[in-house]
């Protein structure tokens, strides 16, 4: 099962590498909203999402904000950073829904990076993807107002969840965008007027 998934997702990995991953990694199931890493803890493994999705965020002062989502087939690049230094995590990772993860022990990851070029290049690809994501976020924050960012956020979220009907509280959106609940309520009403979204009970429909 591990093998077939690995081969599917990363067709370029060497055979021996797949065998090693098979041998040293473990599979773990997580409930929705379960923490995988909490800021300040030490990281011992690199998670790769087999099924489900994970939200990775960081905090500054009392504010939290979204770094990126990891969905099926992707890894948590930020854990890679901790492959090199042995410092406590400066981010938290929490499952969005029930998820299945493959956990690769960090000390093995360190070895594989040296031994297998294909592994290093997979990591580089992930780094690039996450860098681009973060760059997108940064551009959004600098160049656009909340209304645009909110729409962008909702559309992205709808894509990830493969549904335009989102069950999410104003508070959680506010946290992810680094603003306050009232503001989200206000902007959502404005988006409603402009036919961009529709609020149905406690859910949000992206139009």
Partner DNA sequence: CAAAAACAGTGACATATGCTACTTTACAGC
Partner DNA sequence: GCTGTAAAGTAGCATATGTCACTGTTTTTG
Yes or no: say if 192 and 199 are a contact pair by the CB < 8 Å rule: yes
Q: What strands, in cross-sheet order, belong to the sheet with 99-105?
A: 26-30, 99-105, 45-51
The contacts of residue 139 (CB under 8 Å, 6+ apart) are none
Distance (Å) of CA 135 to CA 131, 146, 157: 6, 17, 17
- 15 interacts with, out of a copy of itself, DNA, none, CB within 5 to 8 A per kind: none
Q: Which is nearer to DNA, 26 or 169 (CB)?
A: 169
Q: Contact between 178 and DNA (CB under 7 A)?
A: yes
Q: Contact between 187 and DNA (CB under 7 A)?
A: yes
Cα radius of gyration rounded to whole Å, the chain: 18
Burial of 93 (0-12, 13-18, 19+ CB in 10 A): buried
Binding site for a copy of itself (CB under 8 A): 58, 60-61, 63, 65, 67, 77, 80-81, 84, 113-115, 117, 120-121, 123-125, 127-128, 130-132, 134-135, 137-139, 141-143, 178
Q: Which is nearer to a copy of itself, 139 or 189 (CB)?
A: 139
Q: How far is the CB of 128 from a copy of itself (least distance, A)?
A: 5
- 114 interacts with, out of DNA, a copy of itself, none, CB within 5 to 8 A per kind: a copy of itself
Site residues for DNA, window 108-167 (CB under 7 A)? 145-147
Residues forming a β-bridge with 205: 165, 198
- 84 interacts with, out of DNA, a copy of itself, none, CB within 5 to 8 A per kind: a copy of itself
Q: How far is the CB of 76 from a copy of itself (least distance, A)?
A: 13
Distance, in Å, from the CA atom of 83 to the CA atom of 20, rounded to the nearest integer, reads 18
Binding site for DNA (CB under 7 A): 145-147, 169-171, 178-183, 185-189, 199, 201-202
């Amino acid at each position: 099962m591990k093998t077939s998934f690995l081969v599917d997702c990363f067709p370029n990995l060497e055979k021996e590498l797949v065998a090693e991953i098979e041998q040293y990694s473990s599979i773990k199931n997580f409930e929705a909203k379960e923490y995988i890493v909490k800021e300040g803890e030490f990281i011992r493994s690199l998670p790769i999402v087999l099924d489900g999705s994970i939200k990775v965020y960081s905090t500054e002062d009392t504010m939290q904000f979204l770094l990126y989502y990891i969905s099926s087939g992707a890894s948590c690049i930020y854990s890679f950073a901790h492959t090199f230094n042995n410092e406590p995590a400066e981010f938290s990772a929490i499952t969005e829904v029930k998820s299945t993860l493959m956990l690769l022990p960090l000390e093995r990851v360190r070895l594989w990076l040296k031994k297998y070029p294909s592994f290093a290049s997979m990591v580089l690809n992930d780094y690039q993807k996450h860098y681009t994501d973060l760059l997108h976020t940064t551009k959004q924050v600098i160049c656009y107002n909340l209304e645009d960012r909110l729409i962008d956020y909702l559309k992205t979220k709808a894509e990830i969840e493969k549904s335009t009907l989102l069950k999410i509280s104003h508070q959680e959106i506010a946290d992810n965008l680094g603003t306050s609940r009232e503001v989200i309520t206000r902007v959502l009403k404005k988006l409603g007027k402009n036919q961009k979204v529709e609020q149905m009970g406690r859910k949000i429909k992206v139009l």
